[in-house]
Chain A
């Protein structure tokens, strides 16, 4: 039974008023340790602040791509498998959107590619890749799409710095408000 200190409740009662506007109301739930949060937090945002230590380049990634089974579903060249393609068939089109729905090309941040591989790959062995392998695979996929050079090492610092081809050329979302139509001026 994880119950936090009853002190805040006692304090509130002593005050006799809801003085702690920011304080807990029910005192239910347990305070997790910093290590616990770190271990569970696999949401890698655009700044990359959650990235774990590790590093890898496309050279190691090319090996991991074969040994970790990626090629089995995505094809040896990333375009000839049963799973979604990982390399554009139309790589020179100046419009990135026209190059296809390809994660390492269309993701607005390299951190999105890292997050995706780390969570969801490889099929049926999710969560088994080491941070070095995820850095290396990310580097490999960015390399085969012409985003970074083959020898570039990706790590906590360099990964979030990668300039992705999409840039900010994607739709931002409207401010969501309750009880409003989903798109202003759209009658349907």
Chain B
């Protein structure tokens, strides 16, 4: 084999291979030392022919969120965050999609042939749907993010996975909830609905009927395959743009009611201040730079494409701006792809780093006119002192600064 290499190099030198681009593993410089032939993955490795695996050199992984181990000593899983620092494009691979549980839970192991969705209450015809029934109905496929209310900026967090990893974005396929509700015939008195999952606590949330009729999806697939158990197999209610807990996993029942029902999860949403309560449902406009971000390191001055994600629970992202001088000047970022409603969109900004210490950050505006604020602006709105103790009321959509040291190391700008 080794003996043949010089001949092959000669072949490459002729330039003939450039036309075909057929040379495997030899995206080699035509001149000079060609890289050694890498070892081959030979034969089937742990069932990879049937269901592919990523390269053993790719190690990006989720981590427990907020310091609580998952699974814990009892085998209960709690919150697990997505490695946004490694993300590209807008799809979070299903294996890396964040997940959260109400209080720590075992994962229900549901046989889809046994699972049904009951819709009842203030309807003309209560109906029970099997998973196959749901799949027979007209479908929709949409990109949507989900974000946990616990996705809050913190001075202690070091990486973007720790500050923002409790949000992910997937392509969801299912049936509009409005299709199912029309099939049951909504009574005029139905103003709210309660969605319930099949996990051990039967987590339940009340939501306004206007949301149900607008864009909720009873999803059976994510990213081109059945919804993963961690994300609600076999049926998950998508409530686009609302806080993650409303996206009821292992959906087994929807009850139409005439008032806010104050069931299990609703208690956690109670608030004294009507403004805070209003900010605790729909996610605000939010963006974050994922590269370069906390604990990454720039090898030296020169060109970098700053890259990040922006999203809003109110609609599509209309504009993202990036600052590379600590927020003094702002530059319009480019979108990579077309921003979708209630979905992550990827933005990029071409940057030549001069090697000096600086701070970079992003901000966005959505298509209903909401703008992502700094923490200082939020404190000012609420007439509270802006200091280390300040906590953003409602869901935290504040601007995240990353500090770049002259040695290229990146740290949390809030620290």
Contact = CB atoms under 8 A, between A and B. Distances in A.
Contacts, number: 183
Contacts of B373: 187-188
B118 A32 contact: yes
B272 interface: yes
Max count, chain A CB within 10 A of own CB: residue among B253, B270, B281, B371:
B270
A108 interface: yes
Interface string B182-216: 11110000000010100011111000101100110
Contacts of A183: 275, 278-279
A180 B127 contact: no
B350 interface: no
A173 to B, nearest CB: 6
Contacts of B372: 188
Interface stretch (A55-63, A64-72, A134-142, A164-172): A164-172
A116 B263 CA distance: 7
B293 interface: no
A172 B368 contact: no
Contact of B129 (A28, A45, A106, A126): A28
A46 B255 CA distance: 14
30 contacts: A24-B185, A28-B129, A28-B136, A30-B130, A31-B127, A32-B120, A36-B128, A37-B118, A40-B118, A40-B252, A41-B253, A43-B196, A46-B261, A97-B272, A116-B267, A119-B202, A169-B272, A171-B272, A171-B274, A173-B260, A178-B211, A178-B215, A179-B315, A179-B368, A180-B368, A182-B313, A182-B314, A188-B284, A188-B371, A188-B373
Contact of B130 (A2, A112, A127): A2
Contacts of A23: 185
A120 interface: yes
Contact of B270 (A36, A108, A181, A182): A108
Given A25-B183, A97-B272, A112-B266, A2 B211 contact: no
Interface of A: 2, 4, 22-26, 28-32, 36-37, 40-46, 97, 103, 106-109, 111-112, 115-116, 119-120, 124, 126-127, 169-183, 186-188
Contacts of A40: 118, 252-253
A120 B255 contact: no
Contacts of B226: none
Contacts of B140: none
**Secondary structure class of chain A's binding surface, majority of residues:** loop
Most interface-central of A36, A180, A182 (chain B CB within 10 A): A182
Contacts of A173: 208, 260, 274, 277-278, 281
B262 A108 contact: yes
Contacts of B397: 188
Contacts of B371: 187-188
Interface residues of B, number: 70
Find the residue from A32, A44, A111, A171 having the highest chain B CB count within 10 A: A171
B326 interface: no
B201 A119 contact: yes
A108 B368 CA distance: 34
Interface in B129-182: 129-130, 133, 136-137, 182
B263 A176 contact: no
B124 A181 contact: no
Contacts of B273: 171
Contacts of A172: 260, 274, 277
Given A43-B196, A171-B276, A180 B267 contact: no
A116 B211 CA distance: 25
B118 A186 contact: no
Contacts of A22: 124, 185
A28 B74 contact: no
B407 interface: no
B127 A187 contact: no
B73 to A, nearest CB: 12
A83 B61 CA distance: 30
B264 A182 contact: no
